Homo-oligomer: A and B are copies of this chain.
Amino acid sequence: MEPGGDAARFGPGWAARALPQRLMLLLLTLLSGRGLHVAAAASSSSGAAAEDSSAMEELATEKEAEESHRQDSVSLLTFILLLTLTILTIWLFKHRRVRFLHETGLAMIYGLIVGVILRYGTPATSGHDKSLSCTQEDRAFSTLLVNVSGKFFEYTLKGEISPGKINSVEQNDMLRKVTFDPEVFFNILLPPIIFHAGYSLKKRHFFRNLGSILAYAFLGTAVSCFIIGNLMYGVVKLMKMVGQLSDKFYYTDCLFFGAIISATDPVTVLAIFNELHADVDLYALLFGESVLNDAVAIVLSSSIVAYQPAGLNTHTFDAAAFFKSVGIFLGIFSGSFTMGAVTGVVTALVTKFTKLHCFPLLETALFFLMSWSTFLLAEACGFTGVVAVLFCGITQAHYTYNNLSVESRSRTKQLFEVLHFLAENFIFSYMGLALFTFQKHVFSPIFIIGAFVAIFLGRAAHIYPLSFFLNLGRRHKIGWNFQQMMMFSGLRGAMAFALAIRDTASYARQMMFTTTLLIVFFTVWIVGGGTTPMLSWLNIRVGVKEPFEEDQNEHSWQYFRVGVDPDQDPPPNNDSFQVLQGDGPDSAGGNRTKQESAWLFRLWYSFDHNYLKPILTHSGPPLTTTLPAWCGLLAHCLTSPQVYDASNLGRVKYVPGESPPEIWELRALGENQEPLREEDSDFILTEGDLTLTYGDSTVTANGSSGSHTASTSLEGGRKTKSSSEEVLEQDLGVGDQKISSRGTRLVFPLEDNA
């Protein structure tokens, strides 16, 4: 029973009931190995008197079951071994500064090797499940009670099996054991990856490029999907002419392929960008696009699937069905978005109005639970959990993160970072394995070559025209080299794989799956390996490029940055700075510094800064000044006391000369209502605490700018500032560096930044 295959063909309802049970077979049986056996043995002892007659039979079954558990455990151990090997090799690569192969590529290679061993190295034992046939009435039920010589046994339906395949599939037990249910990817492995992407978004640059990112993600993915779909339809026609097509392949299948293969996942490129501190705007464009187009691709693929014209001929164009599909797309997308945003907002409110930040463990647990509940809520309401989780992550990063204690900030970051890392490498090593262990590959050279050409053309057809149109409106143009780099970074990864493996029932889907797998392999290896040369060939600014001979400290710092969001939400800082300057609550004062941003960004930013931030977090201007006078009471209730403190505080000058932190999150752990004096003295007394805070946020929360500073201070005199960020900040006339936090504002002069 390969993943999802026949069960899916059987029909939505059955598939839905049947798939989870299959997943179980691998994921949980193996967790229960010996344990289950003991429990079962326990029961057999208590009920032994009644069942003596079938003792022999039970014994045989028990042995069989035990053997099966052992195999399950061994197969999961195989994956753990694979991941362990990958981790050790990555370490070696990072240690030796090898950049041409990313950890995901490595995981795939190890997966391939193990796949080959499993495929050709293990004996083809025949499946030991006995099968029985009994003819029934005209309907299959989800539960079956079978009367075997007086005893009743309960059976649950797994799915339909096409008659021809009853004896032909999966002779090899081991291959079956290492085959996961495709829904594992969607429901267990993808959510932490996607949540982490949302949570670690570099907010400043993301929102600054919001318009372009949305254009690339929505228009771009749609264009790419339709171009690839149409090109592939041509390829399919060609194959039919040449006689290479042995089964049906409809136009909707081609469009579906276009949708799943439009989900880019430039994980290797982004890792290298992070490591080399490449241009932040390019990073934001690429990362933002890839994150959002995953969401678009999922929803798009399910809308295409939902395209079911009425009547018998289901593969002709039908305007009603088409518009229904469009409606489904909009409905699912906006619904999932709302779900995610709502849970994020609720979490922000809870963390703002309770003093949970005194107990990081509770805070982290709450954060985790609320983020998980987004997924469930969306699923319960019929939306897409993965998409909801993405927007929840973005909301949590934008609002809740500011309310968390320093400890929880690093905890939540680290928790999702580890989950993300494990899930991602697991998926990639599984991909390697699947190339050999998946038993229904359909390799069609024409289709594969066609697909490579189509994804190239599909990407070209949206990157270049969209960039042209966007440049008309952008002040900060997307240069020719950026466009080339975006074109080049169209890797396919985990999302395309998960969408493709979800349904491999029909011939068309199997061919798509095989092709997707090969596309992922080649793009990850070739593009991943070619990123560094490409960057220098295209003359793309890279940041502080550490010389090879630097000490290990640097080495270690550097890795902290990889995969961690390197910015600390500076816009509010800049702006509360302006508030402090007396610019007043209207965002007009902020406009000078934001002139190069898109109007969308400015609109959103002023609303966010004036209303959302003050309501949901402890920062921003007091609501009493931004809201109209008639909602004064409400405004007063919603504004946190710290905001007033901050406005009244003025500046506490930082004495330069001692390791000067650029962004220093000073966290007043004291009661919110405590007078300022108290917090001030806190600042003096808690030297260790405070520096911990600085250190923490430097390492894990801040990333780029923070650790940047750290390395500056580390290396004594080296003050190279080449990332565009600093340049921009100086352009903006931010003469002072401002530190904002829950109740205290510290302003540091920028001497050391010059």
- Measured between C-beta atoms, what is the minimum distance from A280 to chain B in Å? 22
Given A8-B42, A64-B13, are A130 and B135 also a contact pair (CB < 8 Å)? Answer: no
Q: Among A54, A90, A508, A551, which residue has the most Cβ atoms of chain B within 10 A?
A: A551
Say yes or no: is A729 at the interface (Cβ < 8 Å to chain B): no
Say yes or no: is A604 at the interface (Cβ < 8 Å to chain B): no
State whether A183 touches B32 (Cβ < 8 A).
yes
Q: Among A76, A553, A700, which residue has the most Cβ atoms of chain B within 10 A?
A: A553
Majority secondary structure of chain A interface residues (helix, strand, loop or mixed): helix
**Interfacial chain B residues near A83, Cβ < 8 Å:** 365, 369
- Measured between C-beta atoms, what is the minimum distance from A220 to chain B in Å? 23
Q: Among A9, A253, A414, which residue has the most Cβ atoms of chain B within 10 A?
A: A414
Q: Which residue of B lies closest to A303 (CB)?
A: B38
State whether A505 touches B23 (Cβ < 8 A).
no
- Measured between C-beta atoms, what is the minimum distance from A80 to chain B in Å? 5
**Interfacial chain B residues near A350, Cβ < 8 Å:** 88
Please report the C-alpha to C-alpha distance between residue A341 and residue B88 in the assembled complex, in whole angstroms: 21
State whether A379 touches B418 (Cβ < 8 A).
no
**Interfacial chain B residues near A129, Cβ < 8 Å:** 141-143
Say yes or no: is A35 at the interface (Cβ < 8 Å to chain B): yes
Q: How many copies does the complex hold?
A: 2
**Interfacial chain B residues near A589, Cβ < 8 Å:** none
State whether B39 touches A8 (Cβ < 8 A).
yes
- Measured between C-beta atoms, what is the minimum distance from A23 to chain B in Å? 6
Q: Of B130, B144, B422, which contacts A368 at CB under 8 A?
A: B422
Contact stretch, chosen from A227-235, A283-291, A380-388:
A380-388
**Interfacial chain B residues near A714, Cβ < 8 Å:** 685-686, 688-689
State whether B555 touches A49 (Cβ < 8 A).
no
- Measured between C-beta atoms, what is the minimum distance from A496 to chain B in Å? 15
State whether B359 touches A45 (Cβ < 8 A).
no
Please report the C-alpha to C-alpha distance between residue A118 and residue B418 in the assembled complex, in whole angstroms: 37
Q: Of B4, B132, B144, B700, which contacts A131 at CB under 8 A?
A: B144
Q: Which residue of B lies closest to A411 (CB)?
A: B414
Q: Of B130, B139, B355, B376, which contacts A77 at CB under 8 A?
A: B376
**Which residues 582-615 of A have a CB within 8 angstroms of B?**
none
Please report the C-alpha to C-alpha distance between residue A424 and residue B651 in the assembled complex, in whole angstroms: 46
Please report the C-alpha to C-alpha distance between residue A479 and residue B382 in the assembled complex, in whole angstroms: 62
Say yes or no: is A710 at the interface (Cβ < 8 Å to chain B): yes
**Interfacial chain B residues near A532, Cβ < 8 Å:** none
Please report the C-alpha to C-alpha distance between residue A138 and residue B146 in the assembled complex, in whole angstroms: 11
State whether B145 touches A131 (Cβ < 8 A).
yes
State whether A415 touches B417 (Cβ < 8 A).
no
Say yes or no: is A155 at the interface (Cβ < 8 Å to chain B): yes
State whether A373 touches B671 (Cβ < 8 A).
no
State whether B407 touches A699 (Cβ < 8 A).
yes
Say yes or no: is A322 at the interface (Cβ < 8 Å to chain B): no
Say yes or no: is A547 at the interface (Cβ < 8 Å to chain B): no
Q: Which residue of B lies closest to A49 (CB)?
A: B314
Contact stretch, chosen from A197-205, A305-313, A458-466, A630-638:
A305-313
Say yes or no: is A166 at the interface (Cβ < 8 Å to chain B): yes
**Interfacial chain B residues near A36, Cβ < 8 Å:** 15-16, 19-20, 183
Please report the C-alpha to C-alpha distance between residue A42 and residue B693 in the assembled complex, in whole angstroms: 50
Q: Which residue of B lies closest to A302 (CB)?
A: B38
State whether B502 touches A358 (Cβ < 8 A).
no
State whether A373 touches B552 (Cβ < 8 A).
no
Say yes or no: is A152 at the interface (Cβ < 8 Å to chain B): yes
Q: On chain A, which size bracket covers the interface?
A: 35 or more
**Interfacial chain B residues near A19, Cβ < 8 Å:** 32, 36, 39
Contact stretch, chosen from A66-74, A209-217, A440-448, A535-543:
A66-74
Say yes or no: is A252 at the interface (Cβ < 8 Å to chain B): yes
State whether B716 touches A12 (Cβ < 8 A).
no
Q: Of B81, B155, B414, B503, which contacts A156 at CB under 8 A?
A: B155
Please report the C-alpha to C-alpha distance between residue A147 and residue B385 in the assembled complex, in whole angstroms: 36
Please report the C-alpha to C-alpha distance between residue A637 and residue B112 in the assembled complex, in whole angstroms: 35
Say yes or no: is A122 at the interface (Cβ < 8 Å to chain B): no
Contact stretch, chosen from A157-165, A395-403, A639-647:
A157-165
Interface string of A1-26 (1 = CB under 8 A from B): 10010101111111111011101110
Q: Of B65, B157, B716, which contacts A685 at CB under 8 A?
A: B716
Say yes or no: is A51 at the interface (Cβ < 8 Å to chain B): yes
Given A33-B385, A358-B95, A372-B80, are A154 and B158 also a contact pair (CB < 8 Å)? Answer: yes
- Measured between C-beta atoms, what is the minimum distance from A358 to chain B in Å? 4
State whether B43 touches A9 (Cβ < 8 A).
yes
State whether B73 touches A376 (Cβ < 8 A).
yes
Please report the C-alpha to C-alpha distance between residue A58 and residue B33 in the assembled complex, in whole angstroms: 36
Please report the C-alpha to C-alpha distance between residue A64 and residue B14 in the assembled complex, in whole angstroms: 10
Say yes or no: is A31 at the interface (Cβ < 8 Å to chain B): yes
Interface string of A119-143 (1 = CB under 8 A from B): 0000000000111111111111111
State whether A365 touches B31 (Cβ < 8 A).
no
Say yes or no: is A677 at the interface (Cβ < 8 Å to chain B): no
State whether A380 touches B77 (Cβ < 8 A).
yes
- Measured between C-beta atoms, what is the minimum distance from A626 to chain B in Å? 29
**Interfacial chain B residues near A661, Cβ < 8 Å:** 688
A46-B503, A355-B552, A553-B669 given. 15 additional CB < 8 A pairs?
A1-B154, A15-B40, A28-B187, A32-B187, A39-B502, A46-B506, A47-B505, A80-B373, A91-B355, A154-B159, A156-B156, A358-B556, A686-B714, A688-B714, A689-B714
Give 24 A-B contacts (CB < 8 Å), ordered by A residue. A9-B46, A11-B58, A13-B40, A13-B58, A13-B64, A13-B65, A15-B43, A28-B188, A35-B183, A38-B301, A38-B384, A42-B502, A43-B506, A45-B314, A47-B506, A84-B373, A87-B362, A88-B366, A130-B143, A144-B146, A150-B163, A154-B161, A156-B158, A691-B695
